[in-house]
């Protein structure tokens, strides 16, 4: 006779948290959130300010174009029960969290907390990436990654500008930014695209953004190996974009070397000494 196994399996059920209902199921391409925003200027409903701004920028009448100031939002619509209400973390009707992360000051909601959102009071906005990974530079007036602490050239309010490549406003952009050697800033992706196209000068000040010493060595070798015809043996006045010094150099189609810092990031100014 076979023995019967009289053991039973106990299933421990986790308590259902109604506030988490619908988490990560609502939102747009920019944010996962369980609410929509009532835009205060045009009174229309959008998933986020980026959706609003994209829609407004496509308006045919320039007078209709405007941007949503997130701090001015006063009403939101719950995506679960469709109830419109004043800005709050939890829906006043169905009691779900309208965003796992919520900032009452910024009126910012996001269910995807893997972004490690945090608010910087000095910047006055919420940022992503984890508070422990960033510091706020008082002179630049923005948060930068810890690797740049004491390791960047400060330019006052450098982030309160538009990216010189795509022209998106850098300060509240969702894309990460980088500081170049000159202190100017641009999006990381724009910087990589620029370097990928062999553009090594800052679009703002024209200074070299990389260590170009090896490139200058190769260029000098090419210049020495390529003699110019006798009629081109004359000097030209040049301005160095890297050290801002003026000097003279013999004309050559490949470039002109700064006599002060030995950079070839120069341009001819004025007339020629022939």
Q: Supply φ then ψ for residue 10, to 5 degrees.
A: -95, 120
Residue 251 to residue 272: CA distance in whole angstroms: 9
Structure tokens at 76: 């939101």
| CB-based burial, 34-51: b 16+ in 10 Å, e otherwise | bbbbbbeeeeeebbbbbb
| CB-based burial, 150-176: b 16+ in 10 Å, e otherwise | eebeebeebbebebbeeeeebbbeeee
pLDDT digits over 79-131, tens only? 999 999 999 999 999 999 999 999 999 999 999 999 999 999 999 999 999 99
The pTM for the full model equals 0.70
Structure tokens at 259: 């006599």
Give the CATH class of 224-268.
Answer: mainly beta
Asked if residue 63 has pLDDT above 90, the reply is: no
Query: Which pLDDT score, from 0 to 100, does residue 2 have?
Result: 47
Asked if residue 168 has pLDDT above 80, the reply is: yes
CATH 2.20.28.10 residue spans of the chain: 224-268
Structure tokens at 194: 């620029």
């Amino acid at each position: 006779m076979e023995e019967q196994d009289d053991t039973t399996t106990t299933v421990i059920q986790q308590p259902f948290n109604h506030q988490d209902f619908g988490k990560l199921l609502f939102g747009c391409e920019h944010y996962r959130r369980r609410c929509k925003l009532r835009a205060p200027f045009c009174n229309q409903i959008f998933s986020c300010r980026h959706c609003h701004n994209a829609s407004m920028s496509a308006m045919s009448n320039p007078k209709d174009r405007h941007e949503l100031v997130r701090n001015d939002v006063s009403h939101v619509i719950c995506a679960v029960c469709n109830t419109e209400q004043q800005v709050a973390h939890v829906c006043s009707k169905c009691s779900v969290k309208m965003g796992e992360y919520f900032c009452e000051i910024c009126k910012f909601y996001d269910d995807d907390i893997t972004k490690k959102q945090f608010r910087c009071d000095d910047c006055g906005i919420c940022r992503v990436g984890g508070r422990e990974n960033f510091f706020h530079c008082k002179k630049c007036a923005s948060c930068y990654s810890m690797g740049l602490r004491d390791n960047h050239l400060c330019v006052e309010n450098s982030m309160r500008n538009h990216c010189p490549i795509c022209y998106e406003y850098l300060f509240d952009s969702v894309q990460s930014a980088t500081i170049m050697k000159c202190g100017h800033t641009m999006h990381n992706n724009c910087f990589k695209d620029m370097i990928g196209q062999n553009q090594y000068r800052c679009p703002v000040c024209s200074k070299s953004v990389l260590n170009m010493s090896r490139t200058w060595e190769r260029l000098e070798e090419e210049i020495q190996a390529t003699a110019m015809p006798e009629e081109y043996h004359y000097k030209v006045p040049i301005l160095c974009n890297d050290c801002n010094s003026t000097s003279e150099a013999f004309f050559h189609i490949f470039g002109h070397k700064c006599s002060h810092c030995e950079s070839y990031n120069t341009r001819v100014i004025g007339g020629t000494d022939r």
